[in-house]
Amino acid sequence: MECRVKWAGEGMSFVAETGSNHVVVMDGAPEAGGRNLAPRPMELVLAGTGGCAAFDVVLILKKGRQAVTGCEVSLQAERAEAEPRVFTRIHFHFRVTGKQLKAEAVARAIELSKEKYCSASIMLGKTAAITHDFEIVEA
């Protein structure tokens, strides 16, 4: 995996070009010289972690022949007060939609993501206390 990040040359905006040929723009907070034009880098870390976990949950449920039709994860995170301002707590709330989804299957999918498959949350778990909960919505 590779990525190239380049300063846009003005303010605190940066452009990342990923190895899969996608572009992501990042910006800093105004108090740090940014112009609030794009997500902060740490917001993207959190978003990527949510995407990683949601990907796992959907894939595991589909492989388990569950009729999943939607998956949304809301993340709430806290960061350390002092530098480096690592994540110290992250809570994942999954909202999984489908037809007659089994709570045990959803719980197991989340647990497998947490313990085995989601590289991002496992890595962040080295500094952050990570918790999960979920709700099931009948489609």
pLDDT score for 10: 85
CA gap 83, 72 in Å, rounded: 31
| Domain spans, the chain | 3-32, 41-138
Torsions phi, psi for 108 (to 5 deg): -65, -40
Per-residue pLDDT tens over the stretch 82-112:
999 999 999 999 999 999 999 999 999 999 9
Q: How confident is the model at residue 74 (pLDDT cuts 50, 70, 90)?
A: very high
Question: What's the mean per-residue pLDDT of the chain?
Answer: 97
The 10s digit of each residue's pLDDT in 17-39 is: 999 999 999 999 999 999 999 99
- CATH 3.30.300.20 assigned to 41-138: yes
31-38, long-range: CB < 8 A, 24+ apart: 35/11, 37/11, 37/13, 38/13
Share of the chain above pLDDT 70, in %: 100
